[in-house]
Structure 1
Amino acid sequence: MSSEFTPVSPAELKSAAKRAYIYTVPLVIMETTRKWRMGAGANVFNHARKLLTHRSRWVTTPNNDTLYSDAWLDLSKGPVKITVPATGERYFSLAFMDMYTNNFDILGTRTTGNNGGVYTVVGPNQAVPEGATNVVRAPTPRVWALARILVDGPDDLPAACAVQDGLFVHDGAAPEDVAPGDPVQRSADWPEYLATANRLLRREPPPVTDGLILEQIRAMGIGPDQMFDADAFDQEQAEAIERGVEEARNWLVQIQRARRSAIDGWTYPSMRNGDYGQNYTLRAVVSVGGLGALPLEEAIYMRAEGDAEEGLFDGNQNYRLHFPAGAMPPLNSFWSLTLYEAMDDGQFFFADTPLRRYAVGDRSPGLQYNEDGSLDLWIGARSPGADRESNWLPANEGPFALFFRGYMPKADLMEGRYRLPRVERL
């Protein structure tokens, strides 16, 4: 491995530093999340036995529709086998993400069906074990396996937990030792951040199709075949790198709360969502604001354009979302509207409201449709009245964001022939 690089100007180093931060921040965020979640070691599923609440802050923009089960797979010592249980008619997905946040395979209702099975997950440079079937090939040696298991109301929770019990990694998978100490986060000083990012690039080799961006940041001594050395730069160069990293970091925070191009009051996801290819900017934005997002064909995520600053909504105001009769979202599964408190760093988490109701959707108990078949959802910090509370999504009194999730969307929604109605201020 080399730490040598061609001398370049401070301006070029600043530009390279911005590119390097945008390119590597998903990798660093994944490693941070991995370290936080690996209390039981690698190759073991952690099961969240309750729906997430306002206290759940380990992943941004969580959902309140499904139980989560997740495992951090270490394939560096060999393949692992995973049993997926039969799930009946319940929505289930098990997404496999590489360390760059790309969903490279999804098992479950949409793809493999609900009958379950045994799957062998193989690392990027490993041979498939003799006799193995249902092989999943991973692009990186470490993988995040994230399952979503639909919960159809509080009474359904025990049955959903039983599905979790049937999801496991087989014995014999070697657990990985977790290095002591706190993970290096994306807010770390540039020498520590870039050293960590480069260590991860060496440990989790990027795809050959990332060759161009790697050449563009090579001048900093960063790459899967290099050793980053912050001391190799003089003061002027170091200051340029610091400015580049800081500009990239600030931009990622600002873009989470910026007004974006909206259609009838909603921003729609890129077709590359969840599997980003060479769209490194989108990948970085989603890793900060929606880590673990699924690809469009599995779930579609839309954010409502608010009427307050930075595209947010004002918790001191009241709003309504009205679906005309016969114009509900076209889906093969379910939908929900979720409200999040907006944080200063660009992340979103459930708000702590008196009802502890974080989302409403087509499975919400007591949801009332109007006589003509239309549907009104009431949003705000103040109750819309006792006769409307079954359709009320309570808000915090500060700025908040609204996200719509639709699982297994039909072509009309994915291809833009159907659009959500605008959220109205009352």
Structure 2
Amino acid sequence: MSQKNTILAVFIAMLLLNFSLEGTAQNNSLDLTTQEKMLYRRGVETAVWAMPLTNTLAMRNGFKDQGCGFNNVAYFSEIQDYKASVTTPNNTTPYILSFWTLENGPVMIEIPAIENNVGLWGALMDVWQRPLADVGAKGRDKGKGAKYLIVPEGYTGQTYDADYVLTQKTKNGYTLLRPIIPDDSEKSMNLAINFTKKMKVYSVEKPKPTKHVDMANKYIDGVVHFDMSLFEMIADFIQEDKLEERDAVALGMLRGMGIEKGVEYTPSKREKEILSVAAKEAQEYLQDTYFDNSPKANLGNGWTVLTPATSYQTVFNWVVESGAMALDDRGSSYFAFFSSAEEFNLTNPPTMYLLTSRDANGDKLKGEHTYKFTVPANCPVNQFWSVLAYEYNDATFIDNVDKYGVASTEKLEFNADGSCDIYFGPTKPKDVPESNYVPTQAGEGWFPYFRFYGPKKELFQGKYQLSKIIKLNQNNMK
């Protein structure tokens, strides 16, 4: 697709982002002039447009604040918990992240080969979370290890014996990797740590030893805050990174908001007030879209895949066959999760995640209520399954609880027919085993991700479906 057509695609997509401005302004007690209404509207639309970007920047800044800068490798010596505030993390595999910049030239990423049955898998991405390459056991090197050289567009210099040369359109990039280990035992975690420390990230023109930073038990603020800080983060990005012609329309709207390359961003107190409300409206729109109005495939009983087909069918470029950019799909997806993949499908993926946000009555899940969820027998997985609960507000682990979900690798109690009852609520129901209980917070909405590790074909053939989540009361607490 030509750049002019791509610009038109973005413009068309933004025209389709229709918001009830007048009603929203009334709901938030804003009495807006004509010019302020346009500022408000552009604030909502650019927040949706920038979601994959701000998602990345929030993580990068959060890790940086805890000592992990550019070209460092962050790892967790203990499985991440709520203190690592990122969107929908798991609690079965320790994360590995690294952020880099091409400011000082190409960056080399060395992925080690599988050793002692320990390997890595994940994707290298640009700041917009477009995949550059899948790496590790399920990536291009197939677990044999490789040197990946990240270069800017138009680069014609030497390649430093790299196995793969990847062109990155932006200055900033990052990776999310996961170690392949059998469990989270002390032995397995030590193997993962030692293996991770063999990974290298460095500028080839100014090479330095790679710094590996343990992020365990550190408070990492790695999620987008839907307030004025969102637009300040966008403004900082506009100054530091390379801008693409495809985003000319969005950049034009930002210019009308006072955000422009080479220009200091100095919003007035009134503008900050308006944009803070606009950011909150964007958050509500993204939530409503992701959970209830997104064209995600339904695999039965309201359990859908995590992202619409516009993601994996376009290799997370989000420009669909008609030429339009799927801004709503992209923005709402990156409200709830991070990362992407070069190779992904619904026929033979290495993992499959499903989500729901409502109970069997169609009501949103609330932390003050108690629910029962039965995992049907014969779950079609080659490895294991897990189900985790997240906060509806920002898609992070529920704060200040000692447990986030359960997995079939744990000592759960199963029913005689092979099914497994899992209970969610602010307090554990009487006679429910501790192993099968997941705590929630009263007053907070929540939603689950059900993860199939090594899913079998029965899941995609519709032969196996997860059950609906049932709200309990005093008369049916079991």
TM-score (norm 1): 0.76
> Do the aligned partners of residues 417 and 135 (structure 1) sit closer, same or farther apart at CA in structure 2, a change above 3 Å counting?
farther
Aligned mates of 1:150, 1:350 — CA distance in 2? 26
Q: Do structure 1's residue 339 and structure 2's residue 389 form an aligned pair?
A: yes
Partner of 1:393: 438
> Do the aligned partners of residues 169 and 10 (structure 1) sit closer, same or farther apart at CA in structure 2, a change above 3 Å counting?
closer
Is the contact between residue 276 and residue 283 of structure 1 (CA under 8 Å) also seen in structure 2? no
> Do the aligned partners of residues 251 and 78 (structure 1) sit closer, same or farther apart at CA in structure 2, a change above 3 Å counting?
closer
Partner of 2:61: 35
Partner of 1:22: 48
Unaligned stretches of 5+ residues in structure 2 = 1-33, 211-220, 319-324, 473-478
Is the contact between residue 302 and residue 404 of structure 1 (CA under 8 Å) also seen in structure 2? yes
Deviations 1:70-113 (A, max 9, x none): 11112221223223231565573232232123333221332346
Aligned mates of 1:183, 1:120 — CA distance in 2? 26
Aligned mates of 1:415, 1:247 — CA distance in 2? 42
Partner of 1:84: 111
Partner of 1:59: 86
Residue 50 of structure 2 aligns to a residue in which SS? helix
Q: Do structure 1's residue 246 and structure 2's residue 280 form an aligned pair?
A: no
Partner of 2:161: 131
Partner of 1:352: 400
Residue 195 of structure 2 aligns to a residue in which SS? helix
Aligned mates of 1:408, 1:205 — CA distance in 2? 38
Q: Do structure 1's residue 197 and structure 2's residue 234 form an aligned pair?
A: yes
Q: Do structure 1's residue 264 and structure 2's residue 309 form an aligned pair?
A: no
Aligned residue runs from structure 1 range 22-421, under 5 A: 22-38=48-64, 39-54=67-82, 56-85=83-112, 86=114, 89=117, 92-112=120-140, 115-125=143-153, 126-127=155-156, 129-151=159-181, 152-155=183-186, 156-169=188-201, 172-173=206-207, 186-189=225-228, 194=231, 196-214=233-251, 219-220=256-257, 222=259, 227=263, 243=274, 246-253=277-284, 255-256=286-287, 260=292, 263-269=300-306, 270-273=308-311, 275-277=316-318, 278-292=325-339, 297=349, 299-307=351-359, 311-323=364-376, 325-326=377-378, 328-329=379-380, 331=381, 334-342=384-392, 345-353=393-401, 356-364=402-410, 366-383=411-428, 388-399=433-444, 400-407=446-453, 409=455, 413=459, 419-421=465-467
Cα displacement (A) at 1:141? 1.4
TM-score (norm 2): 0.69
Is the contact between residue 226 and residue 276 of structure 2 (CA under 8 Å) also seen in structure 1? no
Q: Which amino acid aligns with 2:121?
A: S
> Do the aligned partners of residues 72 and 319 (structure 1) sit closer, same or farther apart at CA in structure 2, a change above 3 Å counting?
same
> Do the aligned partners of residues 245 and 387 (structure 1) sit closer, same or farther apart at CA in structure 2, a change above 3 Å counting?
closer
Is the contact between residue 369 and residue 471 of structure 2 (CA under 8 Å) also seen in structure 1? no
> Do the aligned partners of residues 9 and 124 (structure 1) sit closer, same or farther apart at CA in structure 2, a change above 3 Å counting?
same
Deviations 1:42-61 (A, max 9, x none): 1111211100123x243132
> Do the aligned partners of residues 230 and 398 (structure 1) sit closer, same or farther apart at CA in structure 2, a change above 3 Å counting?
closer
Residue 169 of structure 1 aligns to a residue in which SS? strand
Q: Which amino acid aligns with 2:309?
A: M
> Do the aligned partners of residues 243 and 419 (structure 1) sit closer, same or farther apart at CA in structure 2, a change above 3 Å counting?
farther
Aligned mates of 1:398, 1:245 — CA distance in 2? 23
Aligned mates of 1:150, 1:352 — CA distance in 2? 28
Residue 45 of structure 2 aligns to a residue in which SS? helix
Cα displacement (A) at 1:14? 3.9
Is the contact between residue 321 and residue 423 of structure 1 (CA under 8 Å) also seen in structure 2? yes
Q: Which amino acid aligns with 1:265?
A: G
Is the contact between residue 406 and residue 435 of structure 2 (CA under 8 Å) also seen in structure 1? no
Is the contact between residue 159 and residue 165 of structure 2 (CA under 8 Å) also seen in structure 1? no
Q: Which amino acid aligns with 1:103?
A: P
Percent of pairs with identical residues: 22
> Do the aligned partners of residues 322 and 309 (structure 1) sit closer, same or farther apart at CA in structure 2, a change above 3 Å counting?
closer
Partner of 1:179: none
> Do the aligned partners of residues 82 and 183 (structure 1) sit closer, same or farther apart at CA in structure 2, a change above 3 Å counting?
closer
Aligned mates of 1:214, 1:195 — CA distance in 2? 14
Is the contact between residue 50 and residue 67 of structure 1 (CA under 8 Å) also seen in structure 2? yes
Aligned mates of 1:187, 1:248 — CA distance in 2? 5
Is the contact between residue 47 and residue 282 of structure 2 (CA under 8 Å) also seen in structure 1? no
Aligned mates of 1:266, 1:42 — CA distance in 2? 38
Q: Which amino acid aligns with 2:421?
A: D
Aligned mates of 1:96, 1:416 — CA distance in 2? 32
Is the contact between residue 300 and residue 406 of structure 1 (CA under 8 Å) also seen in structure 2? yes
Deviations 1:298-341 (A, max 9, x none): 64432223349972234441412231x34x24x56543100234
Is the contact between residue 99 and residue 204 of structure 1 (CA under 8 Å) also seen in structure 2? no
> Do the aligned partners of residues 247 and 14 (structure 1) sit closer, same or farther apart at CA in structure 2, a change above 3 Å counting?
closer
Unaligned stretches of 5+ residues in structure 1 = 1-7, 177-181
Aligned length: 397
Is the contact between residue 340 and residue 351 of structure 1 (CA under 8 Å) also seen in structure 2? no
Aligned mates of 1:173, 1:219 — CA distance in 2? 41
